[in-house]
Amino acid sequence: MKKTLFSLATTLLMNLPLTAAPLQHVEPPHWWVGMREPALQLMLHGPGVADARVALAPYPGVRLVGSHRADSPNYLFVDLDIGPEARPGELALSLDGGEPLRYPLRARAPGSAQRQGFGPRDAIYLVVPDRFAKGGSGRQDGLKEGVDRANPGGRHGGDLAGLRRHLGYIAGLGFTQLWPTPLVVNDSATYSYHGYAATDFYRVDPRFGSNDDFLALAAEARALGVGVIQDIVLNHIGAGHWWMADLPAPDWLNQWPQYTETHHARVTLQDPYAAPSDRKRFTDGWFTPHMPDLNQRRPELATYLTQMTLWWIETAGLSGIRTDTYSYSDRDFLTRWSARVMQEYPRLNIVGEEWSPHPAVVAYWQRGKRNHDGYASQAPSMMDFPMNTALLAALTEEDGPHTGLTKLYEGLAHDFVYPDPANLVLFDGNHDTPRLFSLMKRDVGLTKIALAYLATTRRIPQMFYGTEVLMESPVERDDGRVRADMPGGWPGDQASAFTGAGLTAEQRAMQDWVRRLFNWRKTTGVVHDGALMQYAPLEGCYVFFRYDARRTVMVALNKGGKTATLPTARFPERLRVGDHARDVMTGQAFEVGATVSVPARSPLILEISR
């Protein structure tokens, strides 16, 4: 029977001599030959291990560079060089001359280094695993918080088996990437389900399942044409992380004389007039008392976080990384971290979360940006919070010279600040924002307009689970209710998004509409890589085209209460009388005349040919 990664690490620890103090952690649990960067740092943790003398039995292509301790007597950092001639096998590391610790070196999967990351051809489906579906893989394992489905902020029992069971549903909707919120252990007494307060970076939370369950999920998703994006947090940990009982060094965390919380003034990093103390408080202040802030300026920690990221990419066969609270980490570390990830996986994608409404602030962090202060990031993508803000305003405000649809038009016009706008991730909402349908005041037409824009503009679209069945939430922030349970994910649910049972006619119609939209997008290359031309909004209607030398798609968004009649002559660069058009959502074909009609409160997506 195949050993789990956790049991493998346990076996490694048991191979230490009985005369030595037992090790409690060896991280990373294993590594690979054939990585572009030969350096590997092992963190050994156990009573008194810091003063151990390390020896490496001869192994072709592998060299022991040295070892060093930090402040704590219970950590030892061992530096190895894994040369290009090294082959898979087991290293034999002895401490103080005792029986060796056997450390696995594995072969990389064929083509691993050249794996294709997610990009503009993809559409991402975001799930909160605890709230998606229960399948039976989770177990309590003595962790602090149990299941309480009646508590909006508690654990509801969704797990990896439930997510695996419904991978076909996600693929059937037309999505090609799956982003689960973090899956690693969050052993906190309350509010542990969300995943952003890790207490163990190398182990899947048993309440979701095992590491092997996650690897099975990723493999099954790939077989369905769906990549997996892992959510990794570099900025902070949970207060229950095992480091907190015995920090490797006092500066492992950003420490203050008294508790100091970040003020979230992210623009201090770009502001030429910002006070240095403000910059320090933004990056070094803690999120909450329960989320200690990591100091990535500590070299061993920076290496640890980088190797942890690479370990998950290689182990699970990921297609990308989503990085939480991106700018809150040390920015020089972020450059080195992102550069190392892209060095090992040149075609991978990394998307960072920079929750700012300002395009210039988000652009600062994207690879290729020439910044005023010389800072250079290596992250290929960022979450497009500015355009999300503009989209919501466009559909909820009255139109004017600077309001309503004008904000959407002007938002896209700001693409000149981005080095690669097509690689930004635009979203209808996420686990931190109110539900789209609720923000649209339960207006199905406006909801469809938002999703049509998401699917057709020059971005990578991401949709939050349940949007397709019009899930709702309070319009003020209420995380527990925003992250409500997916209908049908639990035995006994009265309605099911997965089977359609118990859904209202409106919900079923919306789900079918989303399925048609994103399956069409999946096979429509001009929406992935074509140029974009937009026309200024008039009379409650906004029009843009995606096109290349052979293909044209017209998108008209009419948020008004009556049918919009658009003169064909207004779009001379892209549309002519006599062109052939096909309505993507209805399949209706017609010849373009002097006008094009767009139904009230609706998007119109036309494939145009001559």
Q: Same structural domain for residues 42 and 149?
A: no
Q: Which of 488, 523, 558 is the last residue of a domain?
A: 523
Amino acid at 227: G
Residue type, 247: L
Note the pTM of the prediction, 2 decimals.
0.95
For residue 408, what are the CA distances in angstroms to 324, 330, 412, 424? 26, 32, 6, 16
Q: Which residues are catalytic?
A: 324, 353
Domain residues for 89?
5-107
8, containing H or E segment: helix 5-14
Q: How many domains does the chain have?
A: 3
Spatial neighbors of 396 by CB under 8 A, at least 6 apart, are 439, 440, 441, 446
**484 and 602 housed in the same domain:** no
The one-letter amino acid code at 590 reads F
Q: What is the CATH number of the domain that holds 579?
A: 2.60.40.1180
Handedness of CA 518, 524, 528, 531 (dihedral sign): negative
* Domain contains 288: no
The beta-strand segments (E) located in 396-539 are 425-427, 460-464, 531-538
State the CATH number of the domain containing residue 181. 3.20.20.80
Same domain, 363 and 479: yes
Pairing of β 101-106 and β 425-427:
unpaired
Residues of the chain where predicted confidence (pLDDT) is lower than 70: 1-21
* CATH code, 99: 2.60.40.10
- Same domain? For 519 and 549 the reply is no
pLDDT tens, residue by residue, 256-277: 999 999 999 999 999 999 999 9
Q: CA 79, 85, 90, 93 torsion: positive or negative?
A: negative
- pLDDT, residue 97, reads 86
Name the nearest CA neighbour of 291 among 364, 208, 195. 195
What span, in angstroms and rounded, lies between the C-alpha atoms of 569 and 594? Answer: 7
Residue finishing a domain among 56, 81, 107: 107
* 7 SS3 class: helix
Of 483, 500, 523, which residue constitutes the final position of a domain? 523
Same domain (yes/no): 339, 371: yes
Predicted confidence at residue 463, as pLDDT, reads 98
Strands of the sheet with 39-45, listed across from one edge: 25-27, 39-45, 75-82, 62-69
Q: Which amino acid is at 526?
A: V
Alpha carbon separation from 137 to 143, 205, 249, 415 (Å, rounded): 15, 11, 37, 44
In a domain, 476, yes or no: yes
Cβ proximity of 178 and 465 under 8 Å: no
The half-sphere exposure of 116 on its side-chain side, counting CA atoms within 13 A, is: 11
Of 589, 543, 551, give the one whose Cα is nearest residue 570. Answer: 543
The answer to whether residues 466 and 328 belong to one domain is yes
Residues 6+ apart with CB under 8 A from 548: 526, 529, 530, 531
131 in the same domain as 73: no
Q: What was the pLDDT predicted at 496?
A: 98
Q: Where are the alpha helices (DSSP H) in 76-153?
A: none
Regarding whether 255 and 122 lie in a shared domain, the answer is yes
Report yes or no on 370 lying in a domain: yes
590 and 474 assigned to the same domain: no
* 143, 36: one domain: no
Q: Kindly report the number of other CB atoms within 10 A of residue 51's CB atom.
A: 10
Query: Based on the domain organization, do 329 and 441 belong to the same domain?
Result: yes
Whether the Cβ atoms of residue 333 and residue 323 lie closer than 8 Å to each other: no
Q: How far apart are CA 550 and CA 508, in angstroms?
A: 35
User: Given this model, what pLDDT does residue 98 score?
Assistant: 86
Q: Are 425 and 357 within one domain?
A: yes
